[in-house]
Every structure is written in C-alpha cells, then in structure tokens.
Chains A and B, each alone.
Chain A
Amino acid sequence: QQPVQSPQAVILREGEDAVINCSSSKALYSVHWYRQKHGEAPVFLMILLKGGEQKGHDKISASFNEKKQQSSLYLTASQLSYSGTYFCGTFAYSGAGSYQLTFGKGTKLSVIP
C-alpha cells in the first residue's frame, strides 16, 4: 500500500518555506525522499531510519515519527533549483519476506522568482 503525500502541489516564492507530509497506514521501517525534475529521473535526497530521526541536506531537512507513521520534508529559504516533484517512498511488505520500495503520488513544488 502506497504512502499518502500532502499537499499535491505548492507554489512558493524564492526564500519561502514549505513542508511536505508523508503518512502510511502501515508500520514504517524507513522513509525515503526523492526529487524529480521535469524530464529527469528521480534523485535520492535522504533516508530516515529511526523514529524521531531528523536529517538535513543543505536547507532541506526531514523528520520521521515512527509511532505516528509519518514523515515531513522541510524546505527552508527555497531556491529556484528546489522546483520539482518530491516523492516519499516506503518499503511495503510484499510477502514471503520481501519488501518493495513504494512511492506516494508526489508533491509538485514550484518556486518562482
């Protein structure tokens, strides 16, 4: 079952902040965040592995609340280069001891001057 992302789309002016949320109805072992620019492949941003863990990558950071089965991606002081579609991914159990990396429907972020 895929994770649920919100919002579906957001428009920011340069320098503004944004939060993208990801939640799952199933227990999460980890949360992955990827960014995809138009016409390109998704690119890995970060993995969060433990409940309450936070990570940062330049001015993009994320938190993971294992108990609430939620993760949030924080983009601060947004830059034009942040534009793209952000996907959260979770490993869903697919049976027989195997897991598959399953993505939410994505959040389209547009940063304008």
Chain B
Amino acid sequence: DTAVSQTPKYLVTQMGNDKSIKCEQNLGHDTMYWYKQDSKKFLKIMFSYNNKELIINETVPNRFSPKSPDKAHLNLHINSLELGDSAVYFCASSPWDRFSTTTEAFFGQGTRLTVV
C-alpha cells in the first residue's frame, strides 16, 4: 500500500545514455514534484506538476523532462546523462489547494542514479 512509489530504486548507467524514472501515487493528489538531492543533501526542486500545469525550475537542464500520462503518474526522462546527474531523485505528491501552502508532501523512497 505504498503511497508514492518510484522505480527503479537504484540505477547505474553510462554517460550519454537516456533513462527514465517512474513515479506513481495512489493518494489521489493533484500535485506531483520531482526533487534532486545531491551529495550535500540539498533537496532541490526540479519540477512541479499540477492539473496539467508544469512548473519548471529555471536551473534544470532541458535534458530533463517530466511526462505525466495521468494524474497518478509523473515520470522523469533524462537524455544524454552526464556525471553531474548522479544524485538521489525523489518524487513527491501533495493535495492541492489554491495556494498549495497548507498541505504536506509525501515522498517516494528515492531513486539513486549513478552515472559512470
């Protein structure tokens, strides 16, 4: 009965490859996020997706693209992987209110991506 699930949990790949990380939530939430956590443990928001509205953090390279086939899924596609992409990627979801300020976020267990 995992609320937010990500697959795979670990991903090791070579530079230049294209990979995807899947995220699914069964909480009925309207908003989903992707965060990148680097070796310094900084949780950096990459995208948020609410009701088909995508908000992209301006520092995210365009090699990263989220895809949402439906409200319960927000997958992350990464093209031409680079060494610096190595990190733990967390998916999260939350209910939505007008300002989305009063609701907690539920995190998936994370995907540790290692680019070699």
Query: Which residues of chain A have a CB within 8 Å of any CB of chain B?
Result: 29-30, 32, 34, 36, 40-44, 47, 49, 85, 87, 89, 91, 94-96, 98-103, 105-106, 108
CB < 8 Å: which of A30, A96, A100 contacts B102? A30
Q: How many residue pairs, one in A and one in B, have C-beta atoms under 8 Å apart?
A: 71
A100 with B48: CB separation less than 8 A: yes
What distance in Å separates the Cβ of A31 from its nearest Cβ neighbour in chain B? 10
Q: Interface with A: B11-19, B65-73, B77-85, B106-114, which one?
A: B106-114
Interface residues on B, range: 20 to 34
Query: Which residues of chain B have a CB within 8 Å of any CB of chain A?
Result: 33, 35, 40-45, 48, 50, 53, 55, 57, 90, 92, 94, 99-110
A1 vs B7: C-alpha distance when bound (angstroms): 30
